[in-house]
Amino acid sequence: MLGLMQDRPLALPHVFHRAEEYFGHKSIVTADATGESRVTVAEWAQRVRRLATVLDTLDVSADGRVGTFAWNTGRHLELYLAAPCTGRVLHTLNIRLFPEQLVYVANHAEDEVVFVDRSLLPLFWPLVDKLETVRHVIVIDDGAEAEIPSDPRVHDYEELLAAATPFEGRFEIADENTAAAMCYTSGTTGNPKGVVYSHRSTVLHSLITLIADGAALSERDVVLPVVPMFHANAWGLPYGCLLAGTDLVLPGPNMTPQAIADLLERHRVTVTGGVPTIWMGMQPLLAQHDLSALRAILCGGSAVPKALSEAYREAIGVPMLHAWGMTETSPIATMCTLRTQHEPLTEAERADVRARQGQAVPLVDLRLVDPATGEPQPWDDVATGEIQAAGPWIAAEYYRGEGGRAQFTDDGWLRTGDVAAVDRYGFLRIVDRTKDLIKSGGEWIGSVDLENEIMSHPKVAEAAVIAIPHPKWVERPLACVVVKPGETLTAEEVIAHLEPRVAKWWLPDAVEFIDEVPKTSVGKFSKKTLREKFGGYQVAAPAAASTTDDGRT
Amino acid sequence: MLGLMQDRPLALPHVFHRAEEYFGHKSIVTADATGESRVTVAEWAQRVRRLATVLDTLDVSADGRVGTFAWNTGRHLELYLAAPCTGRVLHTLNIRLFPEQLVYVANHAEDEVVFVDRSLLPLFWPLVDKLETVRHVIVIDDGAEAEIPSDPRVHDYEELLAAATPFEGRFEIADENTAAAMCYTSGTTGNPKGVVYSHRSTVLHSLITLIADGAALSERDVVLPVVPMFHANAWGLPYGCLLAGTDLVLPGPNMTPQAIADLLERHRVTVTGGVPTIWMGMQPLLAQHDLSALRAILCGGSAVPKALSEAYREAIGVPMLHAWGMTETSPIATMCTLRTQHEPLTEAERADVRARQGQAVPLVDLRLVDPATGEPQPWDDVATGEIQAAGPWIAAEYYRGEGGRAQFTDDGWLRTGDVAAVDRYGFLRIVDRTKDLIKSGGEWIGSVDLENEIMSHPKVAEAAVIAIPHPKWVERPLACVVVKPGETLTAEEVIAHLEPRVAKWWLPDAVEFIDEVPKTSVGKFSKKTLREKFGGYQVAAPAAASTTDDGRT
């Protein structure tokens, strides 16, 4: 027996028309080289309607891929809606990809047009002749001085919009499983893999940004997504903001800590989100800014150091709101809002909870399994295993089967590659990537745990721990440490800091001081690069090495 | 091109397993004749697993209808999950239906079994031989003294559970459009009509109870649904609570204001919900109860009188949170949380906003049309029209086509039968039912507006306004007024109270004092009954009648 409810698709036209009808008076501010511009949502919606017909004028196929190579701006947000609401597929190109990767993904996705911020032309234009399917390059003039090539493929965004007739009536997407957007993961091995979001997955994921035990986006919020719109739909914030009717502040090309802090203060932003690196950079500026309107700082992309979160709590009263996910999970899979079971805890214990990745949000199912055997592991906060994920916004496969099925289980769950322990309330504590685990004498050492402990040292800016070969224990940890500017630190001090904090056999065999931790194109620690750099590492310091010979039993 | 996301159904097994896995430590309290009982969600979940196999033992068909005739209790909540999670369809029988309606709906739905609270047996058992498809009556012993018939069809709920083997593993519903539950509307004319909710509609609707600009259910909440679980799934609160992980307090059979107020205080309830009548009854008790934990009182089912909401705001700091919908809309269609545009308003103006039904929640689309021509009406807060609704939890048709297609437009929208004005922000102000509008001299008079104004008189308990025939103006309003106990009031005082508040030609031609406003089985004003009572009404008071002869131009 079937239900007798209306067959209404979960699709982005609802998000667009809701914003247009109910929130036309709200504002979208974009910062760029020339200052700030502000449009109302009503004005923005009219521009989306023009852009919809521009895509027809440019002869983009009915389900053609529309590339963007752009910062977080109101005009990027126009493309976020105009492309999927007309049946096209938004393909946000990651501006930090290496040139050969960019060429690969644009060709793999068969992008027909690419919308490029003028300030990013110098990165993009040199590749254009290698892009096999791109027929038009539309330049969004953000006031940068980059030269605009004289080329028949090049168009000016504002000129196209000015000449266009606005689309009238309501956008319609009949099948909610239609592709809405795609994003390539910058895998550490092999070619980037395309994740294809559907209208259904995008709308459901957007709803989750509104729930009370989460980001709780409300019409009263002013939201500044620092997380790039070219990365996993900026964690779903732009669509969530339109659904909730928030004001939006978009930072444009200037992503310096100073610029972000100024925007947060000037617009009395209530919710922001970005990777830990952003907030580390902004930390020295907290004292000089009035951030009293802020109520939530979403943080994810890599584990949030407890010390960072605590520094913010102490300085401005707002700790990090830890979220976890990946491109394949749209990306929000867990969030770490405190619960009633945390009420009896001390502030220090709560800080430990906030350093966790949190609990699965509604509609997401997680399981903890032994990565080798697939055996379920207990949720006792001790046993570790790989987190696997299922749900309506979790990837089922990669575009064109790229990379095969290795990332997916036989019963269709995503292997996240993250290793975690889970407490009895389902709160995750990610200890490592399956690829980054250190296996010492048959036992796992969590590199992320070690990194977090090292980063709690007041003189440490960043730290990454990798495995180095060892004749007896097979693998042992090497700590690569970045010291804060103006500070000095020795290997012995690092080890002494760790001794009361971790099991003795976890202590790194050596500490190397580096200038910075190499990052991937989305700002995550690139341990692959470190492993290459320290490939043939020989432990030099006998003092540290000696710690491996005891404490195991 | 299709998205490549996992094909995971939106289905109630997710809600069940989420509650079981993450919120096993939370509690479900039920009040009954013997006091209060408390189970943890983990214990409750084990009982749901037993109940699942009980349904097999009772030979309920794979998609058989499982009737319930029960109060709000933890055991009713077991049925809420066990029936749909095993593919059966929960049919909540309204205990306030007239006997012939009850017989009709149980036969129409083809209920195979009915679970009946012992305290309700005296209402139910006399009808049992007229129920053509019911094979088993399972008595849930709530400590009442009602005699349990000695009959082979009768079973004891606890005995069945004790004898059952718990279902193991995970419940699965492959098709999210499978029916989950059904509820009959007690229409004022014709036979009751069956609304059939799907798993998809139920899960989406539950999510909406979690959003910030709504009930914002959070794990930190303690929720007491006064609205009956036999009426439109208690506004989705039970499922929303399980999804969010709240504590639940269920009032059982004792629905007196005193009992509800005591429960609210004792359990430090944070969110409650019910029809205005409940809150009117509880109002005199506010001063004697510590309700400081309360943060939201959801109120709907009929328009929330501004005076009532203000009385609560003044007494306990929490006004009513107005919601609007109907059985056909699952039922939440709009909610009235205040927004940034209301910040500059005075407290009195905000009270006016709170008396509105509010804005469509995400995923619901509303339109305002002339009920006769279907022409769209402007959202200017002046023009009125019928509200029509579309969305994934809005009914597409009635069970077995009952009542035909009259309630649905050709393009598949629900005609709600409610007449409203809508402001530029999409905030509804319902002025009447299409059936209850008073057409005086070719112009509409909103009976609900008039009622609200009359009910703002401090001596008025309730008021209903109906149309009476008039030789010149075709129809004119008659006010039926219930005076508060111990107070006296004259017709002239009522008219004098209205004069500064409404247009002169809206003033009722007569005022009748009645003992109470007749109610339907779900507690709404039954104007049909009033119209029957005052069918041949002749205006007696020339003073009031004279007001119809001017003020129209």
pLDDT of A48 above 60? yes
Q: How many residues does chain A have?
A: 553
Question: Chain A closest CA to B478's CA: distance in Å?
Answer: 37
Which of B3, B197, B211 lies nearest to residue A3, judging by beta carbons?
B197
A1 CB within 8 Å of a chain B CB: yes
Cα end-to-end span (Å), chain B: 60
* Contact yes or no for A425 and B195 at CB 8 A: no
Average pLDDT over every residue of A230-237: 94
Using one digit for the tens of pLDDT, what is the confidence trace for B284-342?
A: 999 999 999 999 999 998 889 899 999 999 999 999 999 999 999 999 999 999 999 99
Catalytic residue numbers of B? Answer: 185, 328, 439, 444
Q: Is A187 exposed, middle or buried (0-12, 13-18, 19+ CB in 10 A)?
A: middle
pLDDT of B542 above 60? no
Name A331's Cβ contacts closer than 8 Å, sequence gap at least 6. Answer: A232, A235, A236, A300, A325
Which has the minimum average pLDDT: A242-256, A331-345, A489-503? A489-503
pLDDT of B51 above 90? yes
Mean pLDDT of all residues belonging to chain B: 92
For residue A112, give the H/E element and its range: strand A111-117
CA neighbor of A279 nearest in space, from A265, A261, A253: A261
pLDDT of B534 above 80? yes
Using one digit for the tens of pLDDT, what is the confidence trace for A398-447?
A: 999 987 788 999 999 999 999 999 999 999 999 877 777 787 876 778 78
CA distance B17 to A393: 18
Domains B8-255 and B436-549 share a fold: no
A341 CB within 8 Å of a chain B CB: yes
DSSP string, B26-43: SEEEEEETTEEEEEEHHH
Which of B3, B14, B244 lies nearest to residue A197, judging by beta carbons?
B3
Give the start-end residues of each E strand in B401-473. Answer: 414-422, 428-433, 438-440, 443-445, 460-470
CB B267 within 8 A of CB B29: yes
CA distance B82 to B52: 5
- Asked if CATH classification 3.40.630.30 holds for the domain at B8-255, the reply, yes or no, is no
Question: Chain B closest CA to A503's CA: distance in Å?
Answer: 30
pLDDT-above-70 percentage for chain B: 96
Name A395's Cβ contacts closer than 8 Å, sequence gap at least 6. Answer: A195, A196, A328, A329, A407, A414, B4, B5, B6
Mean pLDDT of all residues belonging to chain A: 92
What are the structural domain ranges in chain B? 8-255, 436-549
CA neighbor of A262 nearest in space, from A535, A491, A36, A492: A36
Can you say whether the dihedral through the CA atoms of B159, B161, B162, B165 is positive or negative? positive
pLDDT of B479 above 60? yes
Can you say whether the dihedral through the CA atoms of A10, A16, A22, A23 is positive or negative? positive
Can you say whether the dihedral through the CA atoms of A108, A114, A120, A126 is positive or negative? positive
Among A residues 149-178, those touching chain B with beta carbons less than 8 Å apart: 175, 177-178
Cα end-to-end span (Å), chain A: 61
Among A residues 217-276, those touching chain B with beta carbons less than 8 Å apart: 217-220, 243-245
Using one digit for the tens of pLDDT, what is the confidence trace for B267-282?
A: 999 999 999 989 999 9
pLDDT for A187 equals 60
CB A10 within 8 A of CB B364: no
Ordered alpha helix ranges (H), B176-248: 199-208, 232-235, 237-244
Tokens 């997916």 correspond to A408
Average pLDDT over every residue of A485-500: 93
How many helices (DSSP H) and strands (DSSP E) are in chain A?
Answer: 16, 25
pLDDT for B237 equals 98
CA neighbor of A420 nearest in space, from A453, A382, A458: A382
A213 CB within 8 Å of a chain B CB: yes
pLDDT for A404 equals 79
CA distance A461 to A459: 7
CA distance A282 to A261: 7
pLDDT of B85 above 90? yes
pLDDT for A547 equals 37
Could you give the 3-state DSSP secondary structure of residue B48?
Answer: helix
Measured at the alpha carbon of residue B170, what is the angle toward residues B164 and B175, in degrees to the nearest 5? Answer: 115
CA distance B114 to B91: 9
Name B204's Cβ contacts closer than 8 Å, sequence gap at least 6. Answer: B10, B363, B392, B393
CB A509 within 8 A of CB A536: no
The partner residues of B224 in beta bridges, in order of sequence, read B272
CA distance B389 to A16: 18
pLDDT of B543 above 70? no
Catalytic residue numbers of A? Answer: 185, 328, 439, 444
CA distance B525 to B520: 6
Nearest CA in chain B to A211: B211
The partner residues of A250 in beta bridges, in order of sequence, read A30
CB A115 within 8 A of CB A69: yes
pLDDT for A105 equals 96
CA distance A425 to A422: 8
Can you say whether the dihedral through the CA atoms of B105, B107, B112, B116 is positive or negative? positive
pLDDT band per the 50, 70, 90 thresholds, residue A541: very low
Average pLDDT over every residue of B225-254: 97
pLDDT for B540 equals 61
pLDDT of A31 above 80? yes
Using one digit for the tens of pLDDT, what is the confidence trace for B368-407?
A: 999 878 899 999 999 999 999 999 999 999 999 987 788 9
Which has the minimum average pLDDT: A60-74, A136-150, A505-519, B382-396? A505-519
Could you give the 3-state DSSP secondary structure of residue B141?
Answer: coil
Render the burial of A9-41: b for 16+ CB within 10 Å, e for the rest.
Answer: bbbbbbbbebbbbbbbebbbbbbbeeeebebeb
* Contact yes or no for B395 and A4 at CB 8 A: yes
A4 CB within 8 Å of a chain B CB: yes
Question: Chain A closest CA to B12's CA: distance in Å?
Answer: 10
Which of B5, B340, B390 lies nearest to residue A219, judging by beta carbons?
B340
> How many CB atoms lie under 10 A from the CB of residue A352?
13
pLDDT of B545 above 50? no
CA distance B460 to B494: 9
CB A418 within 8 A of CB A433: yes
pLDDT band per the 50, 70, 90 thresholds, residue A539: confident
A370 CB within 8 Å of a chain B CB: no
* Contact yes or no for A7 and B391 at CB 8 A: no
pLDDT for B45 equals 98
Q: Which two tokens stand for residue A320?
A: 């990090």
pLDDT band per the 50, 70, 90 thresholds, residue B541: very low
pLDDT for B31 equals 97
Nearest CA in chain B to A426: B22
Measured at the alpha carbon of residue B178, what is the angle toward residues B63 and B94, in degrees to the nearest 5? Answer: 70
> How many CB atoms lie under 10 A from the CB of residue A426?
19
Q: Which CATH architecture has domain A436-549?
A: 2-Layer Sandwich (3.30)
From chain A, the residues in CB contact with B395 under 8 A are 4-6
Which of A213, A396, A398 lies nearest to residue B218, judging by beta carbons?
A213
**Strand pairing class (A428-433; A414-422):** antiparallel
pLDDT of B436 above 90? no
CA distance A398 to B6: 11
Nearest CA in chain A to B425: A22
Using one digit for the tens of pLDDT, what is the confidence trace for A63-88?
A: 999 999 999 999 999 999 999 999 99
CB A114 within 8 A of CB A124: yes
* Contact yes or no for B4 and A220 at CB 8 A: no
pLDDT band per the 50, 70, 90 thresholds, residue A34: confident
Which of A5, A178, A393 lies nearest to residue B392, judging by beta carbons?
A5
Distances (CA, A) of A416 to A192, A305, A512, B102: 16, 21, 30, 52
pLDDT band per the 50, 70, 90 thresholds, residue A552: very low
pLDDT for B24 equals 98
Using one digit for the tens of pLDDT, what is the confidence trace for B498-514?
A: 999 888 888 999 999 99
pLDDT-above-90 percentage for chain B: 79
pLDDT of B239 above 80? yes
Question: Chain A closest CA to B161's CA: distance in Å?
Answer: 26
Which of B201, B211, B245 lies nearest to residue A210, judging by beta carbons?
B211
Measured at the alpha carbon of residue B84, what is the angle toward residues A390 and B129, in degrees to the nearest 5? Answer: 175
* Contact yes or no for B5 and A196 at CB 8 A: yes
pLDDT of A355 above 60? yes
Give me Rg for the CA atoms of chain B: 24
pLDDT for B550 equals 35
B19 CB within 8 Å of a chain A CB: no
A61 CB within 8 Å of a chain B CB: no
pLDDT band per the 50, 70, 90 thresholds, residue A504: confident
pLDDT of B409 above 50? yes
Q: Is A221 exposed, middle or buried (0-12, 13-18, 19+ CB in 10 A)?
A: buried
CB B94 within 8 A of CB B186: yes
Measured at the alpha carbon of residue A543, what is the angle toward residues A492 and A553, in degrees to the nearest 5? Answer: 105
Name B372's Cβ contacts closer than 8 Å, sequence gap at least 6. Answer: none
Average pLDDT over every residue of A184-202: 87
Name B343's Cβ contacts closer than 8 Å, sequence gap at least 6. Answer: none
Q: Which two tokens stand for residue B538?
A: 């002749």
